[in-house]
């Protein structure tokens, strides 16, 4: 009974965090973590741009800790109901999540460095390549979302209900 209660508690944490943090959170955190366009017009030196970009680092760290909540739920679920096939999928989720975190942080940090619209080149033009990272992020996040959703559904469904659905009606 305690395992069932723990799994139910994890479901109560997993589903809201998956939808609110993963689907709505990126928009909010992106707005908060990058240098705003109003601030860009006030930046004039390389040191000011670097300070503005480095000021985004704590927000990026907080964002990634919050984004990790569904992954942590999947890991705990995997410990409560061990299944080798699901364990491999959880490892895949962790790898995709780590890759998405790195790409997302580079994109948000890089977008803070290249916000100048006045043609001043304070940093390497390589940071301008970060404008293509949302495409890479989408390619990583789409399978991550699908896999996390399917794992969450599998873990949060009771075995007795799943067995009843699998058997044909009498």
pLDDT tens digits for range 59-86: 888 888 888 999 999 999 899 888 898 9
Looking up tokens 């994890």, which residue turns up? 10
Q: Give the integer Cα–Cα distance in Å for 85 and 88.
A: 5
Of the ranges 4-18, 36-50, 126-140, which is most confident? 4-18
Q: Are the CB atoms for 70 and 14 separated by under 8 Å?
A: yes
Report whether pLDDT(123) > 90: no
Whether residue 7 is predicted with pLDDT greater than 60 in this model: the reply is: yes
Q: Is 19 helix (H, G, I), strand (E, B) or coil?
A: helix
Range name among 49-53, 110-114, 122-126 with the lowest pLDDT average: 122-126
Rounded Cα distance, 132 and 101, in Å: 15
pTM for this predicted structure: 0.76
Q: What is the mean pLDDT of residues 78-105?
A: 91
What is the predicted pLDDT for the residue at 29? 56
Q: What is d(CA 165, CA 135) in angstroms, rounded to the nearest whole number?
A: 39
Work out the mean pLDDT of the chain and round it to a whole number. Answer: 78
Distance CA 74, CA 68 (A): 10
| Cα radius of gyration (the chain) | 20
Sign of CA dihedral 89, 94, 97, 103: negative
For the ranges 47-51, 61-65, 80-84, 165-169, which has the lowest average pLDDT?
A: 165-169
Neighbours of 63 (CB within 10 A): 23
Which has more confidence, 72 or 3?
A: 72
- What lies within 8 Å, CB to CB, of 54 at 6+ separation is none
Higher-scoring residue by pLDDT: 87, 114: 87
Q: What's the pLDDT at 43?
A: 63
Is a pLDDT exceeding 60 seen at residue 129? yes
């Amino acid at each position: 009974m305690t395992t069932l209660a723990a799994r139910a508690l994890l479901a109560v944490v997993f589903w809201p965090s998956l939808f609110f943090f993963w689907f709505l959170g990126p928009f909010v955190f992106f707005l908060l973590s990058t240098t705003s366009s109003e601030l860009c017009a006030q930046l004039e030196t390389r040191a000011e741009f670097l300070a503005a970009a480095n000021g985004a680092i704590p927000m990026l760290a907080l964002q990634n800790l919050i984004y990790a909540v569904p992954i942590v739920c999947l890991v705990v679920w995997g410990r409560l109901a061990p299944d080798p096939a699901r364990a491999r999928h959880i490892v895949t989720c962790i790898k995709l999540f780590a890759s998405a975190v790195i790409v997302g942080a580079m994109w948000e940090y890089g977008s803070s460095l290249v916000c100048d619209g006045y043609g001043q080149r304070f940093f390497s033009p390589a940071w301008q390549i970060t404008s293509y990272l949302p495409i890479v992020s989408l390619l990583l996040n789409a399978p991550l979302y699908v896999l996390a959703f399917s794992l969450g559904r599998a873990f949060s469904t009771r075995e007795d209900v799943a067995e009843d659905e699998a058997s044909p009606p009498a």
